[in-house]
Structure 1
Amino acid sequence: MLLFVAAVASCTAHPSAEPLPVAVSPPAKVEPTKFDAPVTPHSARDQFWLARPAVQGSVTIARAPSDAVKVTFNGAQVPLSADGFLLVGFDRDAENSASLVAHRADGTLIEQYIPVRPGNWAIQHVNANPLGAAKTSEEFQARRGPELARINAARAQIHDSGGWRQDFIWPLKGRISGRFGAQRVYNGTPGSYHSGLDIAMPTGTAFVAPADGIVTLTAKQPFTLEGHLLMIDHGMGLNSAFLHCSELLVEEGQVVKQGQVIGRVGATGRASGPHLHWGMKWRAARVDPLALLPAQ
């Protein structure tokens, strides 16, 4: 029996797929300056503010009550910026509600429950080798352990990047050939759900950084499933992964700016054709890049 393990996940390009609509409307730009007026007893924020509704597979900027010194999300502490902003994400399989708690200096709490809307996930049949670049299940298992270790180490890094506060841009424009959240069936064998957004373009097409960040992983030797993999930390626990690249144009530890060319489209790893797979995670939650993007 084969064990299919995919930390960043892999995907395939489907020429017959139709362009897909944006599932969640992007939020209005968050302007911290609108909250910069002096806080008075009458203007103090006594509840959490969210930039957009909570939906399975989405991420949103939030702002804590004005006197919060610490915030927890579903029981775990999350970073809080100096001006009171934070980031929260909702996994593809998140429960139907989440909890935000503001801890005040005097020991009192402000707790707010957030309803989480369900996603709408499709089923997709894929004609591709579940083992990716590996020829046997033994080879796959031998290679996969070290690959996962590098991926997990990249995600564990914490950088002070402000990319999470930006309006994200498309890394490239093209036909959407795979949607986040779709249940995958590989040659009749059920696999994990699709964890990113696929954009079909020819091999060698350049793509850019969707937001500022720090490069945390460059797989110069292709991984079994992801091929040439590039990962970027945007700060506050939010990171991007770009799979199946033909070429990586940045190095680990490099600071990248929004709109900077960082790699080229390819079909390395488990892919049936050239395309860019863009996956995103907020901490342990897998989130949909489409929810952060304007319409093409």
Structure 2
Amino acid sequence: MRRFASAFAALVLPTLAIAAVPDLPASVSQGGLVIGHVAPGTRVTVAGKPVHVGGDGLFVFGAGRDERGPIVVTLGNTRRSVVVSPRDWPVERVNGVPPKTVNPPPDIAARIEREQAEVVAARDRDDAREDFVRGFVWPVSGRISGRFGNQRIYNGDPKAPHSGMDIAVPEGTPVKAPADGLVTFAKPDLYLTGGTVLLDHGFGLSSNFLHLSRIDVRVGQHVRQGEIIGAAGKTGRATGPHLHWGFNWFGTRLDPLLLPGIH
């Protein structure tokens, strides 16, 4: 985690922002965010796909939960390999969940599919904004009740790994923006996730906040780090009040605990 914090601290240094020598971490944990620098105008690809490079030479990418690596990165004519450090993924058993949210009937399953497609579309942005450059703060303070990547078993039925971090807080607890960002999705009643807000931080990085009891922002609104965007709740598939904070690099889910500033 300190490695990521150090990388972000370096982003504010003007000498690094215009560095001609490529700067790229040698390794990243599964679920981790990678921050690099190249000379402005350098073409960068990750696993063969071009990524956005800012006017200051900044670029980012993520290593998913199941990424084995190494991740091949090209920086102009230079080829690098980023080693991916494996992690252990414990099993979490969640009981008392409404059965229709675990194994929904066909009509509900179709609704869930439609809603998730909207969320996926909202993540498909590559804005040049560097709203993430100052690092991140906790959206709420509380006990971590669910960790990223852990295998979830709902009512005894194995499901997909947990996609974010759950923080147990009382219903109505104000939720703050962990970094500057643009609201790209805000709806109060998604079937699985209830009150849902997506905040785009630029360069394909986005936060999602689920199970909200109240939403205080609208799509198209730009918010500042620490600004209240809503209130924690227990809407959607939830057994008690909490905030689910997820973080993505486009479609790749990352661990909020590995973000710079979060410890």
Match among 250, 255, 263 for residue 283 of structure 1: 250
Within-5 A mapping of 1:166-245: 166-220=134-188, 222-245=189-212
Residue 98 of structure 1 corresponds to which residue in structure 2?
71
Provide Cα deviations, 1:184-213, integer angstroms capped at 9, x if missing partner.
011111100001011100100001000011
- Alignment partners' CA distance in 2, 1:120 and 1:196: 16
- Alignment partners' CA distance in 2, 1:58 and 1:249: 29
Name the CA shift for 1:188/1:88 in 2 (closer, same or farther; >3 Å).
same
Cα drift, residue 169 of structure 1: 0.4
Cα drift, residue 131 of structure 1: 3.7
Residue 27 of structure 1 corresponds to which residue in structure 2?
5
Runs of at least 4 residues of structure 1 off by over 6 A? none
For structure 2, the 5+ residue unaligned runs are none
For structure 1, the 5+ residue unaligned runs are 1-23, 104-108
Q: Is residue 149 of structure 1 aligned with residue 124 of structure 2? A: no
Aligned partner letter, 1:290: L
RMSD between aligned alpha carbons?
2.0
- The structure with the greater share of residues assigned to helix is 2
What SS does the corresponding residue of 1:152 show, helix, strand or coil?
Answer: helix
Superposition TM-score, scaled by structure 2 size: 0.91
CA contact (8 A) 2:40 2:54 kept: no
Name the CA shift for 1:91/1:71 in 2 (closer, same or farther; >3 Å).
same
- Alignment partners' CA distance in 1, 2:44 and 2:111: 39
- Alignment partners' CA distance in 2, 1:186 and 1:136: 13
Q: Is residue 267 of structure 1 aligned with residue 234 of structure 2? A: yes
Percent identity over the alignment is 38
Aligned partner letter, 1:154: A
Residue 54 of structure 1 corresponds to which residue in structure 2?
28
> Size of the alignment, in residue pairs?
258
CA contact (8 A) 2:192 2:237 kept: yes
- Alignment partners' CA distance in 2, 1:176 and 1:87: 27
Cα drift, residue 49 of structure 1: 2.5
What SS does the corresponding residue of 2:230 show, helix, strand or coil?
Answer: strand
Structure ranking higher on relative contact order (CA contacts 8 Å, 6+ apart): 1
Name the CA shift for 1:290/1:136 in 2 (closer, same or farther; >3 Å).
closer
Superposition TM-score, scaled by structure 1 size: 0.82
- Alignment partners' CA distance in 1, 2:138 and 2:43: 33
Cα drift, residue 170 of structure 1: 0.4
